[in-house]
Amino acid sequence: MEKPKSNLDFRGMALYYRFRDLFLPRMNILKEVGIEPGFCVLDYGCGPGSYIIPLAELVGASGKIYALDIHPLAVQRVQGIASKKQLTNVKTICSNCKTGLPDSSIDVVLLYDTYHNLGDPDGVLAELHRVLKPNGILSFSDHHMKETEIVSKLTSGGLFRLSRKGKKTHSFVKEK
């Protein structure tokens, strides 16, 4: 990601997302992905944590959620959600690219409405490829991009191939 939003911009975005999530529940999007109990999920560019509670429902107590963002307020917000809801399987990462996670440790990566802001998109895709398990899923959505651009940018490096297009997301599978 490039540089973090200002604190004021972040707070405005978080407020907007709160209202958005009332009318467009995040669970409806996550159901397209195929997340199962026990999965390890990385929410890359987690923002204010809109996906954390529905992810926790899907992965269950045996799963794990990593929430990564460049903005310290995003990390603090997710930590607050996890604490308030007693979600002991949520871990936060403050970073602009590297996750610090082991190779082949993640079942699903969510990359939602973040790609267009990345300073080093190829570096981020390489990092996501590294942490995904064989046949791991990169669930992608970015309303700032057209479908042809999404598919082209995510498949051109040979790291991912399109496996499914849902109503709101594209699912890419990790290539060898």
As for how many domains the chain has, the answer is 1
How many C-beta atoms surround the C-beta of residue 94 within 10 A? 14
pLDDT of residue 160: 97
Residue in the block written with tokens 């940018």: 153
Domain that holds residue 148: 7-174
Tell me 145's DSSP state: S
pLDDT at 1 (0 to 100): 44
Query: Is 2 inside a domain boundary?
Result: no
H-run or E-run covering 72: helix 72-84
| Residue 3 confidence (pLDDT) | 58
1 domain-assigned: no
Q: How far is CA 37 from CA 18, 34, 47, 107, 112, in A?
A: 26, 10, 23, 11, 21
> Which backbone phi and psi does 153 adopt, to 5 degrees?
-65, -35
Q: How far apart are CA 70 and CA 96, in angstroms?
A: 5
Three-point CA angle 113, 118, 174, nearest 5°: 75
> 43 lies in a domain?
yes
- Residue 105 contacts residue 93 (beta carbons within 8 Å): no
Residue 45 covered by a domain: yes
Q: Per-residue pLDDT for the chain (176 aa), expressed as one digit of tens each?
A: 455 667 777 676 666 666 666 677 678 889 999 999 999 999 999 989 999 999 999 999 999 999 999 999 999 999 999 999 999 999 999 998 899 999 999 999 999 989 988 989 999 999 999 999 999 999 999 989 999 999 999 999 999 999 999 999 999 999 97
How far apart are the C-alpha atoms of 51 and 38, rounded to whole Å?
Answer: 17
C-alpha span between 148 and 27 (Å, rounded): 26
pTM for the predicted model, two decimal places: 0.89
What is the rounded distance in angstroms from the CA atom of residue 174 to the CA atom of residue 42? 14
Which CATH number characterizes residue 165's domain?
Answer: 3.40.50.150
